[in-house]
Amino acid sequence: MGKVTERRRYRAGAVVLGDRAGTVFRDAVLDVDDGRIAWVGPAADAPPSDVPETQLPGLVSPGLVNAHAHSPMTLFRGIGEGLPLDRWLSEVMWPREGRLTADDVRAAMRLASAEMLRSGITTSVEMYMYADAVVDAVHESGARAVVMSPLLAAPGWEHMGSLDEQLDRATRHAERLRSDAYVEVGIGPHAAYTVPLDILCRAADLTREHGMLLHIHVAETQGEAAELEREHGVSVPRLLADNGILGGRVLAAHCVWMSDADLDLWAQYDVSVAHCPQSNAKLASGIAPLAGMLQRGIRVGLGTDGPASNNNLDLWEEIRLAAQLARLSALDAAALSATDAFWLAAEGSAAALGRSDIGVLETGRWADFCHIDTDDVAFIPVESDADLLTHLVWSAGSQHVRDTWVAGRQVVADGVCLTVDEPAARAEVRERAARLATG
């Protein structure tokens, strides 16, 4: 994995910062020094510089942040079509995942990482087995990731060790990578209905002690935790709060079936949410109460979930669908603006992870950004700066991303991933997926 240390200057037709204000600069300059943003703003205000200047005639945006993914599921893209979540997991996913090897996961993550980089996603939160293999693949591709060491006891997962062993392995893994500039390691218990409370409590204590992210699925489907709720007489969010699991850096995925009281708990304990509208829609899980979250000041980011249940890793589609569903749920065309929808995938997602070093083009943050082709019908006409953002959300998509940089290093050029041999990666994943399908 290379590191760019020299200074660079990029002159862009326009720059979208990715902040909630929807700031756009026309004819803008982005200066990069040692992998970080040194300056960004209108070219007329740029400081003097004698470094090489690269012309980017289209639009520059921050690299998107995928707040929840199981990206190695590219091995299982589309399987179990038409099944609800509980049957999809128990009948289709877990049996195949029980046959996975670390090499399978490494190959799948390598291909998935290239897919995300080509669409301008520079950071992803990954919850999957063989976390070491996920990290290896991310290092190869030059992407950035928050890798969750998983906790799950499911049929076929016995080879991953006991939950205690999984938890100890997660802690050791995080310690080894504590100084890694590209990868952060957290702990990812699957859910309260699959991981015992005592293990969840241990995981929460460890993440608070070491400043790690705790990432867990919550209230994804309506009846997933019915037995647990009958046993304890409270909702899962209340159960997590009562057992001291909340507090610290907690990122909850989905949060579809949340009452007002549950949302109030999330706000009280500063729990952030990874909103995955496309997966929730495809699996008929429901529509998350996004407006209620944002009204309470809950930090929300956007995630794709896995390519087995989405079926892609295209965060641009999540941006558009999040806005559409928010407006449809409220029967209000102003319920979620294009500016707010884009912000959810940029600075909003970064904030949901507790990361102030990514997600927006701002001095001092990592130089993770992408170049978007605006010489396309999707961007015609542009009558004001605001049109660039609205076209970006409603008209454009991942197909318009031409170039991507992570920490100042170019990893995609003219739509081609420079760090992964995609034809070879596709062939390898195709072969491994066929083996896993037949057992």
Is the residue at 100 inside a domain?
Answer: yes
Is the residue at 431 inside a domain?
Answer: no
Q: How many domains does the chain have?
A: 2
Q: Are residues 185 and 334 in the same domain?
A: yes
Please list, residue by residue across 402-424, b when 16 or more beta carbons sit within 10 angstroms of its beta carbon and e when fewer do. bbbbbbbbbbbeeeebbbbeeee
Q: Are residues 313 and 380 in the same domain?
A: no
Strands (E) in 111-198, as ranges, are: 121-127, 144-151, 183-189
Taken in order 170, 306, 410, 341, the sign of the CA dihedral is negative
Residue 154 confidence (pLDDT): 72
- 17 burial level (CB within 10 Å; 0-12, 13-18, 19+): buried
Residue 193 confidence (pLDDT): 93
d(C-alpha 142, C-alpha 420), whole Å: 9
Residue 439 confidence (pLDDT): 66
d(C-alpha 307, C-alpha 300), whole Å: 21
Residue 85 confidence (pLDDT): 79
Q: Are residues 54 and 77 in the same domain?
A: no
Residue 5 confidence (pLDDT): 54
The predicted-structure confidence for 76-112, as pLDDT tens digits, reads as follows 998 888 888 788 888 888 888 888 999 999 999 999 9
Is the residue at 358 inside a domain?
Answer: no
370 lies in which domain range?
A: 8-63+366-417
CATH of the domain at 57: 2.30.40.10
pTM here is 0.96
Q: Are residues 398 and 339 in the same domain?
A: no
Q: Are residues 59 and 77 in the same domain?
A: no
Q: Are residues 126 and 224 in the same domain?
A: yes
Q: Are residues 34 and 88 in the same domain?
A: no
Q: Using 50 as the pLDDT threshold, list the residues of the chain that sit under it.
A: none
Q: What is the DSSP string of 263-309?
A: HHHHHHTT-EEEE-HHHHHHTT-----HHHHHHTT--EEE----TTS
CATH of the domain at 228: 3.20.20.140
Residue 3 confidence (pLDDT): 52
d(C-alpha 369, C-alpha 358), whole Å: 10
